[in-house]
Amino acid sequence: MAEAQLAGDAPARAAEPETPATRELTYLEAISEALREEMRRDETVLCIGEDIGAFGGAFKVTDGFYEEFGAGRVIDAPLAENAIIGTAVGAAIEGLRPVCEMQFADFISCGFDQLVNVAAKLHYRQGVAVPIVVRLPSGGGFSGGPFHSQNPEAWFLQAPGLKVVAPATPADAKGLLVSAIRDPNPVCFLEHKGLYRTVRGEVPEGEHTVPLGKARVAREGSELTVIAYGSSVHLALRAAEELGADIEVIDLRSLCPLDADAVLASVRKTSKVLVAHEATRSCGVGAEVAALIAAEAFEHLDAPVRRLTAPDVPIPFSPPLEREVLPQLDDMKEACDELLRY
């Protein structure tokens, strides 16, 4: 380097990184774009699920895919989730990258054996990669009742070998889905149905990835931390704005692996914590986060860790009863206010 400078060559100047172009998409459009772009980029990526072909999927995520990619890569399956995931596992072992759609996350129970006892275990047992993604439209808020509104993420946190992600924004929905498809492990990809068409945001055009296992600071603050994911992130952000308080919001994004460093760093900064999610309370993500904080940051707390979740009951059909069961904005504001005043 010194000789080059003596000879009169100026050191090369690093090029300024280009800011990727963005445009506003809905949460659903971002998921659809990620899937379409990965299928164009990599011919081993395929989709399999119920009504995803000519019909375009129950929520129209795969609308137009059948015409572009054909029946060999957009596979309409019968009402048999165990067969869908089992077929995907076999295809993955042979070098393909299947993306399975469960019409509703609730129906994953019918495919539980193939996902938890086969896909999640093959690498440990035989050293075989199983690069499948299982898309899980989850959550309530639309009067879908007890069979179409569940948040089943906690089921999969107990199964070593599975990764579990739950994006809250369109940009993360695209970036995390791309990363999930490219990951060599089976990934459960939770998509909150209530966000599909109600949430819009700037999404980078073209190549865009978000690493699995990394949380993001959705809002900076110093008086209180709200740790959330999925729909609860938006409740937390609205509550912080309406309260006018110095609240930090951590969007977990990835539930397994969990970004413990981001959680603990925020707790040590604010000393007060609210853990919020739409799923029921028992043995869920909130319980794990609360245990982590108690074990690793107890001496930094100025108040007990508080949790805001749905109660351990099925989600009702009735809109007023559903609103009573699921966390609402007023519930989030009340929980934040109580902690701030503690």
Dihedral sign computed on CA atoms, order 22, 277, 245, 329: positive
Q: Which residues of the chain have pLDDT under 70?
A: 1-18
| Predicted local distance difference test score (pLDDT) of residue 142 | 87
| Predicted local distance difference test score (pLDDT) of residue 18 | 67
pLDDT tens, residue by residue, 244-289: 999 999 999 999 999 999 999 999 999 999 999 999 988 889 999 9
Q: What's this model's pTM, rounded to 2 decimal places?
A: 0.93
First and final C-alpha spacing in the chain = 60
- Quick one: how far is CA 225 from the chain centroid? 20
Bridge-based pairing state of the strands 45-49 and 216-219: unpaired
Angle between the N-to-C axes of helices 231-243 and 329-340, in degrees from 0 to 180, rounded to the nearest 10: 60
C-alpha span between 338 and 284 (Å, rounded): 23
- DSSP-assigned letters across all residues of 2-66: HHHHHTTPPPPPPPPPPPPPEEEEEHHHHHHHHHHHHHHH-TTEEEEETT-STT--TTSTTTTHH
CB neighbours (10 Å) of residue 58? 17
| Predicted local distance difference test score (pLDDT) of residue 6 | 39
User: Which of 148, 208, 234, 277 is labelled catalytic?
Assistant: 148
Dihedral sign computed on CA atoms, order 209, 215, 221, 222: negative
| Predicted local distance difference test score (pLDDT) of residue 10 | 39
| Predicted local distance difference test score (pLDDT) of residue 5 | 35
> Is 148 annotated in the active site?
yes
| Predicted local distance difference test score (pLDDT) of residue 17 | 56
Backbone φ, ψ for residue 150 (5° rounding):
-80, 160
Give a three-class secondary structure readout of 269-286.
HHCCEEEEEEEECCCCHH
pLDDT tens, residue by residue, 109-142: 999 999 999 999 999 999 999 999 999 999 998 8
pLDDT tens, residue by residue, 11-23: 445 555 567 798 9
How many Cα neighbours within 13 Å face the side chain of 60?
6
Do you know the residue count of the chain? 342
C-alpha span between 95 and 129 (Å, rounded): 9
Angle between the N-to-C axes of helices 170-182 and 27-41, in degrees from 0 to 180, rounded to the nearest 10: 30
| Predicted local distance difference test score (pLDDT) of residue 283 | 86
Q: Specify whether the CB–CB gap between 319 and 143 falls below 8 A.
A: yes
Domains of the chain in sequence order: 23-204 (3.40.50.970), 216-340 (3.40.50.920)
